Amino acid sequence: MTGFRGTGKTTVGRILAARLQWNFLDMDELLTQRFGASISEVVARHGWHCFRQSESKLLRELQTIRHTVLATGGGAIEHQQEWLQLRQHGFVVWLDAAMQTIEQRLQDDPHSMQLRPSLTDQTVADEIRTVLERRTPLYRTGSDLRLLTDNSTPEQLADQILQVVGTDS
């Protein structure tokens, strides 16, 4: 699962894994366990560079997983070399949403403070616009299926993915 923050990678991925009876892994959860601290704490103490280094190392380690739904971090797509390698082993779903939807979901999610420290020194709306502009071509070329999430529930999105990949994948 790939896509910007708040598009539902964790939420939809968990439902999809349950339906497939596959394992579920979430890169942000794995990194949080590894650091023994939240993403916000890591970034505040050591900076984004430290988080990105661990993220790219984790992507390399995940090359061997099978029968697993993997919710990647929203920025993992920017590690293009690791991404291209990981892609050879799986089917990539890009969850997309309008900027307004993303902003609203991030604002409403009580976990945002821990999970999603600012990526830039811009306002939230400007940050979503500029980072989304940079990443959208990467999400497009780095995925096999794009789903618009604005008007569908996480359960409906998991169903849409299952219709494409099948239940006995």
Ligand X SMILES: Nc1ncnc2c1ncn2[C@@H]1O[C@H](COP(=O)(O)OP(=O)(O)OP(=O)(O)O)[C@@H](O)[C@H]1O
Ligand Y SMILES: O=C(O)C1=C[C@@H](O)[C@@H](O)[C@H](O)C1
Numbered residues of the known binding site for ATP:
6-11, 116
Choose among ligand X, Mg ion, ligand Y, none what residue 75 binds, the Cβ cut-off being 5 to 8 Å by kind. Answer: ligand Y
Least distance in angstroms from the C-beta of 13 to ligand X: 7
CA distance 45 to 37: 10
- Element spanning 61, H or E: helix 48-61
Question: CB–CB of 83/90 below 8 Å?
Answer: no
Residues 87-116 that bind ligand X (CB under 6 A): 105, 109, 115-116
- Nearer to ligand Y by C-beta: 15 or 115? 115
Q: How many CB atoms lie within 10 A of CB 90?
A: 16
Q: Compute the chain's Rg from CA coordinates.
A: 15
Looking at residue 157, the DSSP 8-state letter turns out to be H
- Nearer to ligand X by C-beta: 132 or 157? 157
Residue 28 within binding range of ligand Y, rule CB under 6 A:
yes
Binding-site string for Mg ion from residue 1 to residue 30, where x marks contact by CB under 5 A and - marks none: --------xx--------------------
Looking at residue 167, the DSSP 8-state letter turns out to be T
Residues near ligand Y (CB under 6 A) are 5, 28, 39, 73-75, 115-116, 119
